[in-house]
Amino acid sequence: MRDLLGQALDLLAEGPVALARIIDRIGAGPRDTGAAMVVTPNGRVVGSLSGGCVEAALLVTAQQALADGSACVERFAAADELTVGLPCGGEIEVFVERLDHADLPLLRELRAALTAHQPIAYATTLESTPDRRLLRPGQVTPWRGLDQDAAALLAAGHNGMVGAQDCTPAAATRPRTFVQVFRSPARMILAGANDYTRALTTAATQLGYRVTVVDARETFTTPALFPTADDVVVDWPHRYLTAEAAADRIDDRTVVCVLTHDPKFDVPMLAAALDLPAVAFIGALGSRRAHRDRTTRLRDHGLSPATIARIHSPLGLDLGAHTPEETAVSILAQILATRTNTSARPLTTLTGPIHPPTP
């Protein structure tokens, strides 16, 4: 949607248009969620959703939305001889809605935020008469019981669905809603190429992190060994982190975890991470004995006890984890609890709402 927003606004200034967006995708598909297509009353089309597989069917739906103003969800599965669908075998949901002159202020505000490179989310309820809202970090206000879930997606940096997913009474108060996030995903930088890193990379990408694996050992640091990582970098971890910070690619959502057991890697990396002006989480894997040894080396490196105390080490929550996959769950649980400033205690031991109001 980002790419065609300017054209959509130009067309909308002349009259109503229909907007079709992919709101969900299962399996293979030509485009991701948030991909958009705009249709005018005279049949002009801007953008595409599938490279031609489903556009013809959506033109009919778009014209109907323009005629009666009623939005709807269309689902397309794998194609066969009798049905329109996707030859790649995947499945997509498309939301088609009418936009008119009254929607211009909100969309112009969205474009202004994108032009200024500001993180923002555009939330749309999937009702026949949609309700729309822009959300910005730190500016969450109550909105139909959806604001906290939508804010969580914005913080994570990826699109998603919130609200009731069925026809229960909750759907009336918390309708199914597509949240399109315009923000780069939060980063996770993992120092050390090993089995624990591989497991954490796989799990972290499922939570929307952009994961970088960095290690100076070329033999162990290859994309083939870390297929789910976004970036696999052969370099000294502390040198890579310092360069990324200098290029302004580290922010207050960035997670840095040291998963090595080699002082020549982990001590410089932790010192570099602790020197960053803003970072969400710094962790170091290892036993309590390894942590004590690492602490001594960091003190010898010139770091104060208060600074060293910012490191989450030994890394992870007490879940009885042993395997790399179990350890990844333990680590991510601690990162999530730290990010949300929650206790990580069992819900059965707590009282009050499971999702308390956002401060």
Poorest-confidence range of 65-69, 117-121, 174-178, 183-187?
A: 183-187
Total number of domains in the chain: 3
Question: Would you say residue 353 lies in a domain?
Answer: no
Say if residues 208 and 183 touch (Cβ distance below 8 Å).
no
What pLDDT, in 10s, does the model give residues 291-307? 999 999 999 999 999 99
The band of 330, judged by pLDDT with boundaries at 50, 70 and 90, is very high
Label the pairing between strands 210-215 and 187-191. Answer: parallel
Residue 53 reports pLDDT greater than 80: no
Same structural domain, 26 and 82: yes
Question: Would you say residue 299 lies in a domain?
Answer: yes
Same structural domain, 276 and 336: yes
Say if residues 28 and 89 touch (Cβ distance below 8 Å).
yes
Residue 320 reports pLDDT greater than 80: yes
Domain residue limits at 123: 117-182
Question: Would you say residue 34 lies in a domain?
Answer: yes
Same structural domain, 149 and 205: no
pTM: 0.69
- What CATH number is given to the structural domain containing 325? 3.40.50.720
